[in-house]
Structure 1
Amino acid sequence: MSISDSILSVNNDLPIRTDLPVHSGKVRSVYWLTESDSRRLIEQKAYPVPADTPLAIMVISDRISAFDCIWHGEQNMQGVPGKGAALNAISNHWFGLFKQKGLADSHILDIPHPFIWIVQKAKPVMIEAICRQYITGSMWRAYEKGERDFCGIKLEEGLSQDSKLSELLMTPSTKGILKGIPNVPEADDVNITRENITDNFAAFNFENIEDVTLYEKLLKEGFAVISEALAEQEQIFVDTKFEFGYVKDLNGDNKLIYMDEVGTPDSSRIWDAQQYKNGKVVENSKESFRQLLLNHFPDPDILLNKNRMPERLALAKDNALPVEVLMEVSKTYLDIAEKITGAKIELSDNPKAEIIEILKDQYQLVD
């Protein structure tokens, strides 16, 4: 098998029975099941949701995005071997730990294959819930330029790059373009304050104002659970992004849950603790790939400057990265996944064929 055969790069062309268009994001594709298939699976598998709950198959890929672009490699490498399975395994591990510790559920009902989740429909809260324990990345770049106000929080003078903050900071931003909210620009990924959220909680899809406090509690508690577990592996949980949404419980009542992915190298920065003690930052997350791209191209401003997006997209499309670069990224993802879960991530010879076979034989979702 060539290494490119093990990569699942296209994940929106599976023959899964659906009445709706497939929704494809940067990394995952979502297939909404027919009403009859949703009802059948809920009954057959005894999923703990109301009988009329819409279900979806969520298929991860091995694609890698950075700076809002999808990147590829030489020798037809359209992604990173093992990345998708590693991300799912890490999220599954943390979601399980959250549930075990009584925090909140996730949208996942079943995991038929390392690349797929069966999820219940959730109404997303329109916030990228970001938590930071260290000052680095975009926050450091802004701080270095003199900015001190972050999402309504004032930072003290005299901080140094990559240093630990005096407290865990919640720096939320908008998820998607939200219209008609006072003092919130109509753009994706705009920093917002707690006051913006509490004054307009319904516009962010919160059911009530109390749930703003609940989301903050779940964010802090989830961060602490992951941070403590990583510390045992001599890793530092630097910062992360969580997403929340509402689903129906068995009684048909709405409950706030964790959704999307949590504590992965895609959504978080993770540093090697021993190296940090020695004064060196070693990334065990996608941040190492971002840094590599910034060093790889002669004009890093293309990657950092949102006004140069057409040039950036062309850069990603026209430049196949060296195979060894993507294999190094693969090692980062597989190593951290195996550290976190305590289990080896097995690469599949043909993930797409495996997925189709399982969904056909065990779930009757492929004609």
Structure 2
Amino acid sequence: MNALKETHFNFKNQTGFYRGKVRDVYFFKDKMVMVASDRISAFDVILPKPIPYKGQVLNQIAAKFLQATADIVPNWLLSVPDPNVSIGIKCEAFPVEMVVRGYLSGHAWRQYKIGFRTLCGEKLPDGLQENDKLPNPIITPTTKAKKGHDEDIAKQEIVARNLISAKDYAQIEQYSLALFARGSAMALEQGLILVDTKYEFGKIGDQIYLIDEIHTPDSSRYFYAEGYQERQANKESQKQLSKEFVREWLIANGFQGKDGQKIPQMTDVMIKTISDRYIELYEKVTGETFDRTDNRDIEDRIEANILQGLEAIQILN
């Protein structure tokens, strides 16, 4: 199974390039091309081997949900010329990610079990157990670190540090909760619970846009709805679809992204397991059969499709 680790394209009229943890981004005057690679990160560290079809899964899920939520907030997406590629408008990104949590899981649970009852200014009631539903969805923002770890930050500090104006923050807070409600409803239709997720926003002039990906396994955590209450009552682990199983595997093998820790060896069996889990999530979340794209000449295919996509919006003229 071939996989896309990174790209090295050079397009006419290209104005810049950025390589993130997972995506390679090519900038043009007022547009951008986002290539979803098969890289995988955990604890803000890029793992050494790519995961076949992961980029296709992320890109196609994100496109589906961006199209399904465009009535809530305008978004950056213009076209999807390749299973791994999205083309859209370039926005000035806000330096904060909006993490919405409906359940006490992941990072929130890890903080809660060591005694914290306030997370990013949001108070949490006593007596909760892991994966319990919260009284109401809460927003626990994080900074967007270019290097190293993102950090929790409260709304008050975001505004006080002029990272986002009070007016804009109130708007993206409203958008985030509305998107989470829509994502939760769509998940439930597929027998899933949207546990937590993150949204990113940007701005052009006075207009706020939803950017990046939404409701993918890299940005979201899902539980299976069937049996959720019974598993909670029995204090059993929840059956979930997310990247959390990768984090749990790393933790079990002594890695949490801390200095001096060594990433455990990713065997072919482990890589296939991760790939299969991503495809399972795609099919479960979308209700559609995943079509494995021919990846034998993946870079050539992507470059050709990007060129066609750019020509369609007259970027190369």
> Same fold per TM (> 0.5)?
yes
| 1:308-319 → structure 2 map (5 Å cutoff) | 308-309=258-259, 311-312=260-261, 315-316=262-263, 319=264
User: Deviation at 1:93?
Assistant: 1.0
Would the aligned equivalents of 1:241 and 1:267 in 2 still touch at CA under 8 Å? yes
Change (3 A) 1:239 1:361: closer
Aligned-residue CA RMSD (Å): 2.2
Correspondence for 1:84 among 40, 55, 63:
55
- In structure 2, the residue matched to 1:233 is 190
SS at match of 1:211: helix
User: Deviation at 1:140?
Assistant: 1.4
CA distance in 1: counterparts of 2:309 and 2:218, whole angstroms: 30
- In structure 1, the residue matched to 2:234 is none
| 1:250-329 → structure 2 map (5 Å cutoff) | 253-279=205-231, 280-295=237-252, 297=253, 300=254, 302-303=255-256, 308-309=258-259, 311-312=260-261, 315-316=262-263, 319-329=264-274
- In structure 1, the residue matched to 2:301 is 354
Equivalences, count: 306
Query: 2:65 aligned with 1:94, yes or no?
Result: yes
Correspondence for 1:339 among 249, 271, 284:
284
Change (3 A) 1:87 1:19: closer
- In structure 2, the residue matched to 1:26 is 21
One-letter amino acid of the structure 1 residue matched with residue 65 of structure 2: W
Change (3 A) 1:137 1:21: same
Mark the runs of 5 or more structure 1 residues left unpaired by the alignment. 36-53, 73-77, 178-186, 248-252
Query: 2:41 aligned with 1:65, yes or no?
Result: yes
One-letter amino acid of the structure 2 residue matched with residue 346 of structure 1: D
User: Deviation at 1:246?
Assistant: 0.7
Which digits, 9 at most, give the CA deviation of each residue in 1:59-86, with x for residues without a partner?
11011111222224xxxxx311111111
Would the aligned equivalents of 1:85 and 1:345 in 2 still touch at CA under 8 Å? no
Change (3 A) 1:71 1:198: closer
Change (3 A) 1:69 1:191: closer
User: Deviation at 1:225?
Assistant: 0.4
SS at match of 2:304: helix
- TM-score scaled to structure 2, two decimals? 0.89
CA distance in 2: counterparts of 1:188 and 1:328, whole angstroms: 26
Correspondence for 1:204 among 150, 163, 183:
163
Which structure is higher in helix share? 1
- TM-score scaled to structure 1, two decimals? 0.77
Identical amino acids, percent of aligned pairs: 30
SS at match of 1:284: strand
One-letter amino acid of the structure 1 residue matched with residue 187 of structure 2: L
| 1:21-60 → structure 2 map (5 Å cutoff) | 21-33=16-28, 35=29, 54-60=30-36
